[in-house]
Structures are given as C-alpha cells and as structure tokens.
Amino acid sequence: MSGVALQTAGLCKSFGAIQVAVDIDFALESGARHALIGPNGAGKTSFVNLLTGALRPSAGRVMLHGEDVTALDQIARARRGIARTFQINQLFRGLSVLENVCLAVAERIGACGELWRPMGRQRAVIAEAMALLEEVRLAGDAAKPVKQLAYGRQRLVELAIALGQRPKVLLLDEPAAGVPSAESHIILDAVDRLPADIAVLMIEHDMALVFRFAKLVTVMVAGAVLTQGAPDEIAADPRVRAVYLGGAHV
C-alpha cells in the first residue's frame, strides 16, 4: 500500500501566549521510517499529542489515510489505526506482561465488551498477544508482573502494547529514553523488526538510532518545521548544526 498514511495541514496549537505548534505541514508515507528531531522544548511530543488526538489543535487539520480526523478524539483515532508509545512508560503496572498486551489486542477486536464469558476463553487474543511477545523477544517474561522487569524490558512491553493495536501508523516517543546503554540494543532490534507496512514516526535524540532507523528526517524548532531530508543531508545542514549548538551526536 502506498500513499500518505498521516498528514497535517497548517496545524497550530497555542496555550495562551505560548505557541507549541506553528503552521505545521507534515506528511508520513505508508511504510515510512521517519524520524523527528529537534532541541528540547521544540514541541515534538506536543506534535505527537496533536497527531493522536490527545491535544486539540487551535487551527489546521489532521488527516489519516485521507480522512479528516481533526474532530475525532484520541480513542476514535486509535480505533482507526494510530498507535503511540510514551516517553515515560505508560504500562498497566499491576498486570503481567502478557495481560498488558492482551488488553491492547482485546480492545482492538472489540472483545472487551464481553461481560459474561471469561477472558480465559479468548484463545485467539491470548495467542496473538503471545506471538507478539515472541516477536519482541519477551515471551520468557510473559507471566511476570510488569513492575518486576528491568527498565529496558519494560520499554519493550511499552512497544508491544502499541503493536497489539495492529496499527497502520506508529508514533514512537523516544523509545530508547531511559534505557541503560547495555540494554538499548533490545529496543533497537525490536524497532528494526517492525513490519514493513506500518508507517513509523520516531522522536529521538540519539543520532546513532536516527541514522540506523530513518530514511527521512524532519527537524523541528520552536514548534515549527525547520527542514526535512535524508539523514546525511540533515547531518550536513549547517542550520541544523547551529540549532544543536555544535551537534554533539552528529
């Protein structure tokens, strides 16, 4: 499937006098491996929140597969195929790893409207969740309560939940954030293995990860898009270097 998966036109958002999004025109292609970089406070997470519907824009439009979803809330957009991960883990801490992913799968297929027959009978849901855990190499921890896992592996659960939604668009907010460097390869490997047909947008600070993952990089500064291009073009761009004040990672 080709074409534009997710798109914004003239997207603006302000909180009183503070503008976090300034007239953003953005396009995420199907099957994309797209990175969003920029200094702290550039408005990257706010932009993701605008894309998912967690934030309502002050002006502009958001389009998912050509459909205008600006008026839809987070829940409606998630049901239309947008999934995201959070910079700080948002897990179901009292539940096991398997249950965490089962929730995403079950909600997706509408199984959670079932009040009478037990969760145990949802064999298909459990099997799919298990398969997902195998994909991200977490199957061995399936029964463990999520809060007992090392932070790096918790970050994988964070990703697995989003994958349980079988999204067409996946927004990753600094997937390697907070992960000790000894464990970060498990995140990188999982990101490498993401299905090719999902459009992926990743916010990242770690340039090594950006280079490894991205075919296209957008640079955001002070709520607006500065420039966009292939990773090596961006790395060579003097404006980008200036914004990063010497660009330590590039």
Partner 1 sequence: MAAADSAVTFLTERHRWHWSEALPWIVAVGCFFVFPGYLAFGAQILIAILFALSLDLILGYAGIVTLGHAAFFGAGAYTAGLLAARLGWSEPLSCLVLGAVAAAALGFVSGWFLLRYAGLTLLMLTLAAAVLLSEFANAQADITGGFDGVTGIEMWPLFGVFNYDLYGHTNYVYALATLFAVFLAARRIVHSPFGQALIGIRENTNRMRAIGSPVHRRLVTVYTISAGMAGIAGALFAETNAFVTLDVLSFQRSAAVLVMLIFGGTGRLYGAFFGAAIYMLLEHNLAKLNPQFWEFGLGAALVLTVLFARRGLLGLVEDFGARFRSAPS
CB 174, min distance to partner 1, A? 16
Candidate segments 13-21, 25-33, 82-90, 227-235, binder of partner 1 by CB under 8 A: 82-90
CB 136, min distance to partner 1, A? 13
Applying the rule CB under 8 A, the residues between 185 and 244 that interact with partner 1 are none
In angstroms, how far is CA 69 from the centroid of its own chain?
18
Please pick, from the candidates 3, 68, 79, 189, the single residue that binds partner 1 as defined by CB under 8 A: 79
Applying the rule CB under 8 A, the residues between 154 and 173 that interact with partner 1 are 161-162, 164-165
Spatial separation of the C-alpha atoms in residues 35 and 212, rounded to whole Å: 11
Question: Is 37 a residue that touches partner 1 (CB under 8 A)?
Answer: no
Residue pair 180/151 in contact (Cβ under 8 Å)? The answer is: yes
Number of residues counted as binding partner 1 (CB under 8 A)? 53
Question: Is 119 a residue that touches partner 1 (CB under 8 A)?
Answer: yes
Question: Is 114 a residue that touches partner 1 (CB under 8 A)?
Answer: yes
Spatial separation of the C-alpha atoms in residues 176 and 165, rounded to whole Å: 20
143-179 in b/e form (b: 16+ CB < 10 A) is: eeebeebeebbbbbbbbbbbbbbbbbbbbbbbbbbeb
Spatial separation of the C-alpha atoms in residues 114 and 69, rounded to whole Å: 28
CB 139, min distance to partner 1, A? 4
Question: Is 153 a residue that touches partner 1 (CB under 8 A)?
Answer: no
Applying the rule CB under 8 A, the residues between 91 and 110 that interact with partner 1 are 91-99, 102-104, 106-108
Cα dihedral 56, 162, 196, 223 in deg (nearest 10): 30
Please pick, from the candidates 19, 30, 74, 227, the single residue that binds partner 1 as defined by CB under 8 A: 74
In the complex, the residues that contact partner 1 under the rule CB under 8 A are: 52, 54, 74-75, 78-79, 83-84, 86, 90-99, 102-104, 106-108, 111-123, 125-127, 130, 133-134, 139-143, 161-162, 164-165
